[in-house]
Structure formats: C-alpha cells, structure tokens
Structure 1
Amino acid sequence: MISIVVPTYNEEQNIERCLRSLADQTVPRETYEIIVVDGNSKDRTRELAEPLADRVFIQTSKRVGGARNDGAMAASGEIVATTDADCILPRDWVERIERTFAERDIVQLYGTVYPIEGGFRNKLSLLGANIFSRLGYYTRTIYFTLGCNTAFDRDAFLRAGMYRCIDAGDDLEIAQRMRKLGKVYLDTGLAVGFSMRRYQQFGTLKSILEWFYIVLRGGDAGGVSYSQREYK
C-alpha cells in the first residue's frame, strides 16, 4: 500500500481540488490511503477534507516537515508519498510511484513540477527549478527533491530520521540523508501541478531569495515570514 500525506493550513480554497485529483487515480482507491495532517486551520479545511481522505487530524509536530512526519508515523503503507494541498496530481501519480518502487531498488523517488497558473513568467520560474533538479541529480550533487512530489520507502525514511522541523529546505535536506541509505531516483515524467500563488502574491525573486536565505541559515527563518502564509 501507498500512504499519501498532505499537510494543510487554511486551505479551504484548494484542498478539495487536490484530494479529488488524488481520489481519481488509475489504481483502485482501496489500494492507497490519503492522510491529511492539518496545522490547526481556522477555516473549513478539515471539514472539506473529511469526506475525501481516509484520515484527517491536527499535527502535533512543528512546521510542514513535522506535519509530514506525523503523517508518516500514522501511515499503513510501505511507501509514503507526500504532496501539498494546493497541488494537482496526475491520474497516474500513484500507479507510477508504485511501479517505480517495484522495478527499482530505491529509497526515495521524486519528480518535477509544472505551474497550475498560466503565464510565461510562471513557466520560466519552474523551468529553472526543473533544470536545477536535473543538474543536481545527474551530477550527483544536490538532489532538489520537493515535498509536493516525492515518495519514500517508509522504513528507510524512519531510519534516516524523517524530515527536520525547520522553516524551509526540509525537503531538500532529507535527500542528503536518504542517499546514505540507498538510491534516490528522479523520474522526470512524474510531474505534478504546482501552485504559483506565493510567487504571484509576494514576488518570485523575493520568495526565492527568502528561501535561499533560510536554507543558508540551516532552516531558521529568523525574521522572515515564510511558512503558513496567508493567501488572498
């Protein structure tokens, strides 16, 4: 079984779209589970998620990495996949993850992203991210794994110590520990729809610079407000 963990916080505008895409997969619904881990939302996120998910509960660990860890600890599957509440998953996402783990001796799988919103600037922004992801993978330097499109062998994930509960860069850092336990594999065809709302509302350059600033500080945001942002 594959367990899919979706962290949420005030996502009533997006959570149904995300979960409906997860419910509409090419494999039978009973062969995978959906776990929503909520950061104590003040809107209707949990209410909307309940009919579409197998489990919905409030996280006890800190930050988005902690929410993913809480979901992994509650998971029944041998494979734990993670995505974000504002993403749209392709119909073969679960099937492709399942097949890749069956065919390859890997501990972590990750893919690419494309913008849900249109526009040349959005496409260019994610083109750069996908190029960086490929360069890091093929040069075996930095595995640019995104929490919105990754999957783990659950036992290896637990042995690695799971995600660090930091403000940003947790999905990049985990791959550096996972690679010590086995192969981390990039499937460029495993692509999910990624919301560009942060970049549209707060600016692309500013958001990228804030992310790098936090990563260079070891995941500590300092005075930068990066996580649990309020979106219009």
Structure 2
Amino acid sequence: MNFFTNPSWINTQLLSYNKLEDIPDSLFNEVNERLSKLVTDDPFVSIVIPAKNEEVNLIRTIDSLSKNKTSYKVEIIVVNNNSTDRTQEVLDRLKIKSLFQPKAGCGPARQLGQEHAKGKYILMADADCFYPPKWIENMTRALLESGVACIYGRYSFLGTPEQPRWKFSLYESARNVIVEARHLNRPCINALGMSMGYVKDMGLKVGFVPKHIRGEDGRLCFQLREMGKIKQVRDRSVIVWTLPRTLQKEGSLLSAFTRRALLELSRIQHYFYPQAPHDVTKTKNYDPAIVKYFRRRIQKQQSEPEQGLN
C-alpha cells in the first residue's frame, strides 16, 4: 500500500506541465510509439474517455495507458465534450480515435463513445487520471468472468506538496469501509467512470442518461444489474490515481471528509436493502439538507475576503 508515497510508476514530470506549450514534442513521440504497439483496428476491448477542457491532464492519462501491458487487443476513444481549451489539439497529435460531442455531460459523451466502439467490452476511464500498468489486463479479465455484466475498481489520491500522501491514505481507509458496506446492496453508488467496465451490447441496450447530470456511471450500473452481476475489483494492481481536485474545491481535507461523512450517515439505512427498479433518467441525485447546509458554509467561508490585522 502506498501509504506515505505516490506510486513509483507514475511519471511525476508530467505533473509540472500547466499548459500545452509545456509539453515537449518528444513526449508525444514516445507516447505515440507505445500506442502504435498497443492499439488496433480490431479491438477486443474499447477504452472510452470523455474529456472537457483537459488539454494537460489528458496527456497524463494517455501516457499511463500507453504503458499498459495486456494480452487483449485494445482501442482508445476520447470524446471531446465541447472543450473550449486546446484539448482537440492534443487529441489530433495522438494516435487514438477522437470524437466530438457538443451536448454537455459525461452521459452523452460516453454514449457517443460506446456507439462508436468496436470492442466487445468497454472500459470506462477519465481524462484526469493515471492508470497502472496492469489496469487494462486485470480489469478486462474480471469482466470476462461468468455472469458479470459490470465491474468497478477503486481509486486513490496523489499526495501533493500541500497535502502529504499519508493524509489521503487515512481518508481512503475510512472511505473503503463504506465502499464495502455499499457493495452488498447498493454497488451502483460505488461505480465510478474513472475505473469501470461492462459488456458493450448490454450498455447499448440500456444506454447512458442523455443529459448533463452527475452520476451517469452509477445510473448505467444500476440498469446493468438486471442483466448480470456487479463485481468490485479489489486487486490493488487496478487502483487508479488522480490529483485531489475534487477535494480541494471543498477547502480543507477535513471539510471534505466531514461533508462526505454527513452524506453517508444520512443514507446509511438504505445500505441494508437493494433499491427498487426505477427510471434513472427521471431521478435526481441524493443531496440531503444537512449536506447542502454544510456546502453553503464552505462556499461562504471561501468567498469571504481575508481580514487584515489592525
């Protein structure tokens, strides 16, 4: 377990790039050389990635995927979700398939990706993550198990100069206890698009939510549970790594932990029984009053100007 440090396989040099001009041509050449050996026109598994304004993060993601070692034939599809930065320029310089989805939302973007995928199976990924060397191999292997319709893995946060890795490890240890509790009856809450997979024909049958809404990944998983098993891949070799951007938006790590703890406590009674079938296109995301109140407090604190000393 990487309790105190980030994984050694991550190219930390990539973290120093802040804009497209920072990325050397040599990196694109190296990535494309690896991609030419990895991707194929006759894939068994398709990796679908939505990307909105990810010009720098995207190269980190594709760099890590290009270093994967797998026995399966692969294609990588990135769906430009109406980006306003230079994401498309990055895509044009990489030897992968790119599509353009003007309709906002990961749901519409992932739907377009699966409609153009050639593989029998689909692995979902995000454009701001680092993927370990055996991610494709071991996620696909889990997806091939008898009766499985959908799989999902776990993720970890990279330590930063501001937040050392051990703090995130403590946070993740508490989170993983909840993940195990939810998996019994509500695994769809755990299913995140950054590390998820499913049988393509099943995914095409149910489809993604055709609008901009958080949780398009879990909604797909919820529908797929009627077609087969939902499997959690606990193997540490498939843990995906990402920068703590979502946590940083909530201020301190303590604030992020508190908000999530309140959210889990407010719905913990639901983890004891499965959710009844329903139309996922019409439901809203769970957002209890206590969490809304806490979020408003954080936003107010962040917007207040710092008071100088008299």
1:143-158 residue pairs with structure 2 within 5 A? Answer: 143=188, 144-158=190-204
More strand by share: 1
More helix by share: 2
Q: Choose from 103, 108, 112 the match for 2:154.
A: 112
**Identity across the alignment (%):** 27
Cα shift readout 1:12-57 (whole Å, capped 9, x = no counterpart): 12110100111111126x8101111012222221211233342112
Quick one: distance in 2 between partners of 1:75 and 1:208?
A: 40
1:95 aligns with 2:95: no
Moved more, 6-15 or 127-136: 127-136
Q: Choose from 169, 173, 177 the match for 2:223.
A: 177
Label 1:207 to 1:8 Cα distance change in 2 as closer, same or farther (>3 A): farther
SS in 2 for 1:127: helix
Moved more, 184-193 or 126-135: 126-135
Label 1:92 to 1:64 Cα distance change in 2 as closer, same or farther (>3 A): same
Cα shift readout 1:78-120 (whole Å, capped 9, x = no counterpart): 1111111110001111111222223332110111111123424
Q: Choose from 187, 193, 204 the match for 2:241.
A: 193
Quick one: distance in 2 between partners of 1:151 and 1:26?
A: 18
Q: Is the 8 A contact 2:208 2:220 kept in 1?
A: yes
Q: Is the 8 A contact 2:81 2:103 kept in 1?
A: no
Letter aligned with residue 175 of structure 2: A
Cα shift readout 1:177-222 (whole Å, capped 9, x = no counterpart): 1111111110111311122112113435469959x6x6126xxxxx
Moved more, 116-125 or 3-12: 116-125
SS in 2 for 1:175: helix
Structure 2 segments unaligned to the other structure (5+ residues)? 1-43, 264-283, 288-294, 296-310
Q: Is the 8 A contact 1:33 1:53 kept in 2?
A: no
Cα shift readout 1:111-169 (whole Å, capped 9, x = no counterpart): 111112342443334334333222211x2234310110000100111122334534212
TM-score (norm 1): 0.82
Structure 1 segments unaligned to the other structure (5+ residues)? 218-223, 225-232
SS in 2 for 1:152: strand
Q: Which residue of 1 aligns with 2:56?
A: 13
Q: Which residue of 1 aligns with 2:286?
A: 216
TM-score (norm 2): 0.63
Q: Is the 8 A contact 2:50 2:79 kept in 1?
A: yes
Quick one: distance in 1 between partners of 2:114 and 2:195?
A: 15
Q: Which residue of 2 aligns with 1:79?
A: 121
Q: Choose from 77, 100, 117 the match for 1:35.
A: 77
Label 1:194 to 1:162 Cα distance change in 2 as closer, same or farther (>3 A): same
Quick one: distance in 1 between partners of 2:167 and 2:111?
A: 33
Quick one: distance in 2 between partners of 1:164 and 1:194?
A: 26
